[in-house]
Copies of this chain bind each other. A is one copy, B any other.
Amino acid sequence: MVRAVPDTHGEILAAAARQFTVSGYRGTSLQDIAREVGCSKATVLYHFANKEALLAELMAPAIAVLRNLDDQLNGLTGAAAQEVAAQGFVDLAVRFRQEIAVLRGEFPELLCQPAFAHIQEISDRLRDALAGHSDRPGARIAALVLLAGISEACAEFADIPDDELRLGLLTLARRAVEPVDAPLPHPPTTEDKDS
């Protein structure tokens, strides 16, 4: 039987993901990560150039998917853009629950780091697509509330299975986005509880 090769690199990555999720990037020290892995802080810095590189490697897959979604959105307008943005972001957020949880709330500072260049612009475009490229306050508000809320929900609802969470979020998103393409004379207000 093959001697189990100790995958220290991977263990550090996993431990960092857990710690970042619980305490945030800032709130987690390299010492904390090393302690959980059971190695020295110097070992962590042997496998990763610095703390930022550790975070970057952790986030790379999620960022790649986000970039991909950004490409799909390119050229789409109106309700089509809204639907693709909603579906794409819900998928992404559910799939990368942990990564989302890590970044939660530490965006403003983290986005300055080179590893996350252009993430701000991408999420701005995503938000814009979800608003149906409308600049009406109602549409902008709905888009931001959805993006932020979906992120938070994915980070928080660890007890809900992926499929159920994805379905719930997508249903909500479709119900909540401000309709733009075919503006109805009087949108279906919920004056009566019929569906």
Query: A-side interface residues toward B, CB under 8 Å?
Result: 22-24, 26-27, 104-109, 137-138, 140-142, 144-153, 156-157, 160, 164-165, 168-169, 171-172, 174-176, 178-179, 183, 190, 193, 195
Which B residues lie within 8 Å of A149 (CB)? 144-150, 152
A156 and B145 alpha carbons, distance in the complex (Å): 10
- Ordered by A's residue number, 22 sampled pairs between the chains whose C-beta atoms are within 8 Å are A22-B108, A24-B108, A27-B109, A137-B164, A141-B157, A141-B168, A142-B168, A144-B149, A144-B156, A144-B157, A145-B149, A145-B150, A148-B149, A148-B152, A148-B153, A149-B149, A149-B150, A175-B175, A176-B176, A179-B190, A179-B195, A183-B193
A148 and B148 alpha carbons, distance in the complex (Å): 7
Distance from A81 Cβ to chain B, minimum over Cβ atoms (Å): 15
Which B residues lie within 8 Å of A109 (CB)? 23-24, 27
Of B169, B174, B193, which contacts A145 at CB under 8 A? B169
Contacts A26-B26, A145-B146, A175-B176; is A168 near B138 (CB within 8 Å)? Answer: yes
Of B104, B144, B150, which contacts A153 at CB under 8 A? B144
Beta-carbon nearest neighbor of A175 in chain B: B176
